Each structure stands twice: as C-alpha cells, then as structure tokens.
Amino acid sequence: MVHLTHTKEQIEYVRLNREYEFVKKRALVNFLTNSRAELEGHFHNRAHTMLNSIERYEQSNLKNLLNGISKGALEKVS
C-alpha cells in the first residue's frame, strides 16, 4: 500500500483544485451579481433625482409664467 500513497496524494490534489476552482467561480459570480445590483440601484437613484429636479423646474416655470400673465393682466386693467 505504500506505493499508492503518491497516487492518493495526487487524487486529493485534483479534488482540492476542483473545489478551489468552484469557490473561485462562485466568488466571481457573487461579486458580479452584487456589482450589478449596486449599479442598478445607483442608476435608479440618479434617474429618480433627475426626474424630481425636472418636476421642480417645470413647477417653477409654470409659476413664473402664471405670474407674468397675472402681472400683464393687472397692468392692462390698471
């Protein structure tokens, strides 16, 4: 059985190498999945912020337009 020691060590090495490759692939998949989720969240937040800014600018423009119309009407009446 002494002659099988080297073979058993080689088989154990192959098994450990496969396990390492699996763990490495899982770590890469987890990293990419987390990176994608963070990117989607960041994109969603940026889009949401932009839409809120646009809405505020539109409200401000509408208010300024109505003020201008009101002032023009008051000047014509006065």
pLDDT tens digits for 20-57? Answer: 999 999 999 999 999 999 999 999 999 999 999 999 99
**For residue 77, what pLDDT is reported?**
87
Q: Which residues of 8-39 are buried (b: 16+ CB within 10 A; e: fewer)?
A: eeeeeeeeeeeeeeeeeeeeeeeeeeeeeeee
Q: Which amino acid is at 65?
A: L
DSSP tag of 1? -
Domain boundaries, the chain: 48-78
pLDDT tops 80 at residue 4: no
| 46 CA to centre of own chain | 10
At 9, the pLDDT band (50, 70, 90 cuts) reads confident
Q: pTM surpassing 0.85?
A: no
